[in-house]
Amino acid sequence: MKWFKFKRKNNQQPTLTLEQLRAEKLKELGAQLWAARQERSLSLEEMMAITKISRRLLQAIEEGNLEDLPEPIYIQGFIRQYADALGLNGTEFAKTFPVASMPVVNAASVPINRSMNLLRPIHLYLLYIVVIICSVSSLSKVLSNAEFSADNNQQSQPQPETVLQPTPNQDQENTQAQSVSNNQEHQTVQIGVTLKEASWIRVVADGKTEFEGILPEGTHRVWKAQEQLTVKTDNAGSVMMSVNQEEAKQMGEPGKSEEVKIAAAKPQS
């Protein structure tokens, strides 16, 4: 009897981590998408035109290359969009890709609870959405509190005194207003982006995420910040960026991720 228990313990399968489970599931789904695309005799370039997803991301999905893809929630969206373009049920196809950071347990080593039979895949999918919404809401509150604290610290610091010549009250008010306006102008930074092809992009202004998602080809957007702007994209060659209305320049090489941080110029004393 002791030998029998020891043998069963050694035959138990190792528990997979969430990252390993994602990698294996991505390879499985990517192979199915590749087979569906081959069956329809479609090239990656044609799928780019249909899905508005860059060729690098489509190829990474088909090859199951998790390292070349963004966060899991965006990977699931890309898979759903790709499957829809191939005539599959994108929602049902993509929901098998794990997104939420939940512990993965080897099913063979844990007894099945009868109540789990009532928890269908659609319920799990809704649970994932609720967890993601709560996480985003909590992160937004933390960033807002940090920004409010930074503003209070900046206001509490002693400001340099401005020496003005004796003038009438109206002239003095105009001079002070112009000084404040100049300081605000120097402390503001502005960027404009124009997309040569559809790409994923994220913009953070003064620690707050202003935009994160996929912008279509030809899009032109402008963002401003008081202290710092951060721009990140998964296809730097398709993004033309201008700083403070200067001449637009390409963020980097095509098909590569790039992150650019631009700080506002400090006011001259």
* pLDDT (tens digit per residue) in 108-128: 433 434 344 444 556 566 776
**What are the strands of the beta sheet with 220-225, ordered from one edge?**
220-225, 189-195, 239-243, 249-250
- At residue 139, the pLDDT reads 66
Among 16-25, 126-135, 237-246, which is the least confidently predicted range? 126-135
Amino acid 138: pLDDT: 67
Angle at 51 between CA 49 and CA 57, to 5 degrees: 100
How does DSSP assign 236-255, residue by residue?
GGGEEEEETT---EE-SSTT
Compute CA distances 227 → 143, 262, 269, whole Å. 15, 9, 17
Q: What are phi and psi of 17, to 5 degrees?
A: -80, 165
Give the chain's end-to-end CA distance (angstroms, integer): 85
Bigger pLDDT: 155 or 73?
Answer: 73
How confident is the model at residue 193, as a pLDDT?
86
The pLDDT assigned to 125 comes to 64
Q: Which residue has the higher pLDDT, 127 or 204?
A: 204
Of 12-21, 175-184, 249-258, where does mean pLDDT reach its minimum?
175-184
Best CA proximity match to 225, nearest among 243, 205, 208, 201: 205
213: left (phi over 0), alpha (psi -120 to 50) or beta: left
Instruction: pLDDT band for 250, please (50, 70, 90 cuts).
Output: confident
pLDDT in tens, 214-243: 889 888 889 898 888 898 998 888 889 888
Distances (CA, A) of 35 to 39, 86, 184, 233: 6, 10, 57, 29
Percent of the chain at pLDDT exceeding 70? 63
Residue 74 CA from chain centroid, whole number: 7
Q: Rounded to an integer, what distance in angstroms lies between the CA atom of residue 261 and that of residue 20?
A: 32
Q: Which residue has the higher pLDDT, 136 or 79?
A: 79
